[in-house]
Each structure stands twice: as C-alpha cells, then as structure tokens.
Amino acid sequence: MGAIISTQGLRKEFRGFVAIHEVHLQVSDGSVHALVGPNGAGKTTLFNLLSGFLVPSAGRVEIGGRDVTGLAPERIARLGVARSFQITTLFPALSAREHAELALQAGTGLGWRFWRSDRQLRRFRDRAYELLAEVGLSEVAEVPAGALAYGRKRALELALALALDPRVLLLDEPTAGMGAEDVDRTVDLVRRVARGRTVVLVEHNMSVVASLADRVTVLQQGRVLVEGPYQEVRQDPRVITAYLGEHDLGESELGEPDLGESDLGESDLGESDLGERDVAHS
C-alpha cells in the first residue's frame, strides 16, 4: 500500500511556540490510522495542517503524491480530504436533512456560505436522506440539530464529512464526551465508513484505537514519539512513560484495550480547533 498522506519535516510555530516539530507522517492508502497523545501534543494542529486550515511554518504535505502544502482548505477538500472537528460545528436551527443538503451543495463548488433557495437545495434531497441513513439518522432527519442528543450530533457531523465521498476522512475525537453505548455505535460507524477509504482519527479512548486502528502514531509535544501497530505501541515503554508523565495514569490505561473508560485525556474544548488560517492563499 502506498502512502495517501505523507508529510516531510512538517513544522508549525505559533508566535515562537513550536506546536509541531519535524513531523514525518506516512498514512497508508486504505488504512485506519490513529493519532494519539496527551492533551496539547499537537494532534489537532496536525489535522489543521493536513487539511489546509493552517499553513505550515516549514515542511511539506502530500496527498496522493501531490504537494498540497499551503493550499486552501477548499482545494484540499476537493482533492478528497474531508474532516470533522473536535467541537460541534452545527447550526442549531437547521434540521439534520438541511445540514446534509448544504454539505452536498458545498461539494458542487458553491461553498457553505452561499445560501441557496429551498428549491435549489431540493435536488440534493434524496442524497441527503441517503447520507443520514448511512449514519443511522433517518428518523431524526427533520429534527433541528440543536435538539439532537449529543451522540447524534456527532453522527450528523460524520454524515457531513461524508457528503463529498472523500478518499480520506480526518476525524478529530469522534467519540469525545460519549457514553459507552454511543462509543460502540460510533466505532461500528467508523468501521463501516472506513471501507474503501483512508481514515485518520484522533482518539483518546484506547479501546476505540484498539478496535479500529491499523497503525498508531503517538505524538508528544509536537513530535512523533512512536509509530506502529497498536499492539506494539501500547507496550512501548516510551509511550507508557509519556502518558504516566503527563497524566498520572496507570499502565492499564494503555495495556487493556477492553476497558471501556480508558480515556487518556480530557478533551479540551480549546479555541484551536477551528485553526485560523494565518496566511492568505489564492
């Protein structure tokens, strides 16, 4: 399998603070690749760099062998890379179906900001219902997003990321804040949507990583600490030390993939998630 995502010497500084140092990441085409690490390790920043929401300070990002460094998010999206966000980004008053229609419309090149008439959106209706069915939201299609339970909001976000039928799906903490039942449902869902695609997911819950990921990259303070299959990574003393150092968690947190509550960190709903683009690009 070739690499669908490849970064070389990727670096991101925020006013002198180096959030990503010299990251060389290779994600195999068709794989599920987990990105883990303590809070503040740079996982979301890396997603922002891969998806064009941030411009690297140095280094290179390639998608499918093509240099996309510095391309705007819409251009990268058009190359088949979709992402979800760590925090919820829905419009509370719009129904699930309307969200799906808008996401489908965005794929036509008009973008989210173009508000089109109901009649124009209607041509996306059948596909919108299909998308909602794919993530198990058929029966709440007409419910305003603001009234959906948390797990369903996250499922809706996944549907929106799927609207463009991306080759690569970047999921930032898809199970954050979920109870065990929603976590299980999300794992099934991710497994299903991963067929025929590449999925990169940021995930704190190690049982989720264990059940989904082909490979795991552990980031710590902006650097790749370890990379490999989950079974190797979980036993790596550097990984255990990194987590112990930062979180005071027992070894079992990494060693027992069957523990339901093996969260390796609080998801911090910081402002960094939507990552401002700091350089204007054509």
Ligand X SMILES: Nc1ncnc2c1ncn2[C@@H]1O[C@H](COP(=O)(O)OP(=O)(O)OP(=O)(O)O)[C@@H](O)[C@H]1O
| Interface contacts to Mg ion, rule CB under 5 A | 43-44, 86
C-beta of 42 vs 59, nearer to ligand X: 42
The alpha-helical segments, DSSP class H, found in the chain are 43-50, 73-78, 96-105, 118-122, 125-134, 150-162, 180-193, 206-212, 230-233, 237-247, 252-255
The Cα–Cα gap between 100 and 156 comes to 8
Residue of the chain from 21, 33, 43, 83 that contacts ligand X (CB under 6 A): 43
The Cα–Cα gap between 11 and 60 comes to 9
The Cα–Cα gap between 158 and 169 comes to 9
Applying CB under 6 A, does 44 fall inside the site for ligand X? yes
The Cα–Cα gap between 87 and 134 comes to 22
- Minimum distance, C-beta of residue 165 to Mg ion, in the bound complex (Å): 26
Nearest alpha-carbon partner for 60 in 5, 9, 22, 4: 9
Residue 231 CB coordination number (10 Å): 10
Residue of the chain from 4, 5, 10, 19 that contacts ligand X (CB under 6 A): 19
With contacts defined by CB under 6 A, name the span among 38-46, 98-106, 232-240, 255-263 that binds ligand X: 38-46
Nearest alpha-carbon partner for 176 in 46, 43, 29: 43
Q: Is residue 199 within 8 Å of residue 169, measured between CB atoms?
A: yes
- Minimum distance, C-beta of residue 37 to ligand X, in the bound complex (Å): 6
C-beta of 139 vs 278, nearer to ligand X: 278
Nearest alpha-carbon partner for 171 in 269, 36, 261, 266: 36
With contacts defined by CB under 6 A, name the span among 76-84, 117-125, 150-158, 260-268 that binds ligand X: 260-268
- Minimum distance, C-beta of residue 204 to ligand X, in the bound complex (Å): 7
Residue of the chain from 70, 80, 272, 274 that contacts ligand X (CB under 6 A): 272
Residue of the chain from 41, 55, 121, 193 that contacts ligand X (CB under 6 A): 41
Applying CB under 6 A, does 45 fall inside the site for ligand X? yes
- Minimum distance, C-beta of residue 16 to ligand X, in the bound complex (Å): 10
Residue of the chain from 14, 91, 114, 115 that contacts ligand X (CB under 6 A): 14
C-beta of 134 vs 268, nearer to ligand X: 268
- Minimum distance, C-beta of residue 86 to Mg ion, in the bound complex (Å): 5
Applying CB under 6 A, does 265 fall inside the site for ligand X? yes
Applying CB under 6 A, does 198 fall inside the site for ligand X? no
Tokens representing 238 are 């550097």
Burial 246-277 (b: 16+ CB within 10 A, else e): beebeeebbeebeeeebbbbebeeeebbebee
Q: Is residue 189 within 8 Å of residue 236, measured between CB atoms?
A: no
- Minimum distance, C-beta of residue 42 to ligand X, in the bound complex (Å): 4
Applying CB under 6 A, does 187 fall inside the site for ligand X? no
- Minimum distance, C-beta of residue 77 to ligand X, in the bound complex (Å): 20
Region 84-123 residues binding ligand X, contact defined as CB under 6 A:
86
Binding residues for ligand X (CB under 6 A): 14, 17, 19, 37, 39-45, 86, 265, 267-268, 270, 272
